[in-house]
Every structure is written in C-alpha cells, then in structure tokens.
Chains A and B, each alone.
Chain A
C-alpha cells in the first residue's frame, strides 16, 4: 500500500541536518554507475571530443556542489580567495573527500605561467577502465577535470581543465594529469593582490 498521508521526515531538504560525510558505498557500486554514465554518454555523441565535453559537464555539476558542501561543512562557510589556496584546496581537501586520498602531486606548468597540473598515478574513475585503441588519447578523467572546473569556477577561478594520460618511465600504465589553465582575469587579479 502506498503510504497515503504519511508526513515527510523533514518538510524541506534544507531542514535536514547535513551528515558528516562519513557514509560509504562500495567502490564497485560507484564503478558500475560511472561505467554506465560513460556508456550512456557514448550513445549521445558522434565523436570523442563531444564525449569528453559531456563527461566534463557531468563532472562540473558534481564539482559545483562539492565546493558548496565542503565550504559549508569543513571550512565554516569560508572559501579560498587566492590561487595557491584554492589549488591546494582542490588537491588536498576535495581529493581526500571524493577519492579518499590526497592527489599524488600538484605542480606548476614549466612553460606557461597560467598552467597547473594535478597528477594521479591511478585515478579512481579509471581504475577498471581500458581505453580501446581506436579511441586514441581519450581519458575518462574528463569527468574529474569537470569536477575540478566546477570547484574552481564556483570559487571564482574560471579555468579550462583537461585530463591527459602521461606515460611514466618504468611504469606499465600512464598516469593521469589534470591540466588547469586559468583564465587571464584570474592571473590579473592574483597579481593585483600581490
């Protein structure tokens, strides 16, 4: 029987206390869901570039919410206003909450002033995924790039974020690098702040 007349536990989702974020699901559950996200999006596109863009969009939606959630819960409604601050927030706090660990490395690009790289030997979303040869350099990490862009954008640091496989010496598998290229205005503001 449908529970007619039963009252909702909370009249509004906002009245519900935010949980501590300690709940877990199995990695498998996430992996199957993510796999299905990729499969669904494959049916919606004609080329790999479009697939990347759509995965990035999905990630963006996650990133925007993660920023709100973490700033509220973990930082007492404060958010980073400086470039290095927000980068380390992504590399440490966001990564730890979403992927259970701090990212392997955060580096500044050597060739361009506006580029930063977050690298991960084995990105969680890629753990079970083998890219077919005919898909070239496609990387499902586009989803994570989207998350990063969502966080940065929401915090007022617009950037172009992309995911790349980078071969590692002595390693069978390449690592994934999330390349962040900040918008000009961000660097200008940063320079003004000194």
Chain B
C-alpha cells in the first residue's frame, strides 16, 4: 500500500511551488492554485496565533485541539484543550474546511498514485496528525511539536466514535456530535497519561 504523504512546512513551500509549476504547464486550474495559496496563508497564520505551551495543562498529552470532520468537510466535533490560543467557532469551522480541501488536494498532487492524503503536518509551533477512516470521516489532532502516540490516540478516538456516537439512536449521521457519553469517554482518554497509548 502506498504511504500517505508526510508534510513539513518546507514541503508545504515546495507544494506551493509545485502548484505554480503545474499551473504554468496548464495541468492545474487557477482555482486549485488559489486554494493552495489560501490554505498556505491560513495555516501559517494559524500557527502564529497558536502559542507554544498553550495546551500544557497538567496531565494532558500536550494536545491543543481535536477535530472530527464528516466526509463532506463539515466540522462535526471540535474540542480544545488549551487555555490560550483557543479558537472561536468560526475559526474552527474554517480550519476544518481548509484542512478538508488541503487533504484532498494533497492526494491529487502526490506524484505517486493511490496517495491517501496528508497524515502529519509539522510546523514550528505545532504538529497536526490526521487519520481518515475508509468511510471518509477525518479525525485530526493539533498538538505540541513532537508529541508521541498521536496515531494511536486518533485510532482510539475513532473507536470511541463508533461506540458512543454511531450506536446512539439519537445521533443523526453527518450531523454535529452532541453525545454526553462520547464527551466523557474522550476526556478520560485524553487526560490519561500518554503511556496509555504506548502499548496499543
């Protein structure tokens, strides 16, 4: 199976350049380029806003925030774990839809076919780990640079989602998640020492 793209900010720069080159060689529409540029700028400014250490509440695995987006790019769950750098609803919605597009574009830009999209984005002040289920739901976590075991955490969040969201008769598919039990279990999972995710 082809490996998903891992992307750093340097790679992101290259991505923008590639987009230019593709545009010049007429392989890419101007719209896609604009998308890439907007995403680039947005993510950059987003990283500037987010102070290092804002998520360092004791016990938490240095996670700043967690997002779940449905397969059409709508934000269905957002939770932040930092005191500073907290985002308002509009910003979180924007980050979600930007990430959705960015993820999709990365699949198309990949020189190797069968790319499943960006799995990790590393910036100076944060890492962004993303997990997409085969059904198209994306789970991503913004955390301290170098935070460990985030893939396992995301996989675990996916399992919680299948239990406390999908088995809840009052949850409507693709809609925002408002399930008390999901919140409770998620909080426990994030609060537990990160060692919990080591052995999984």
Contacts and interface: CB of A to CB of B under 8 A. Distances in A.
B164 interface: yes
Contact of B170 (A28, A32, A132): A132
B122 to A, nearest CB: 36
Interface string B170-200: 1000000011111010000000000000000
Interface residues of B, number: 12
B59 interface: no
Contacts of B169: 34-39, 42, 129, 140
Given A130-B179, A130-B180, A130-B182, A135 B167 contact: no
B8 interface: no
A38 B164 CA distance: 15
Contacts of A35: 167-169
Nearest to B180: A130
Given A28-B167, A39-B169, A135-B170, A129 B178 contact: no
Nearest to A128: B167
A129 to B, nearest CB: 5
Nearest to A126: B181
11 contacts: A32-B167, A34-B169, A38-B169, A128-B163, A128-B164, A128-B167, A129-B168, A129-B170, A129-B181, A131-B170, A172-B184
Interface of A: 28, 31-32, 34-39, 42, 128-132, 135, 140, 172-173
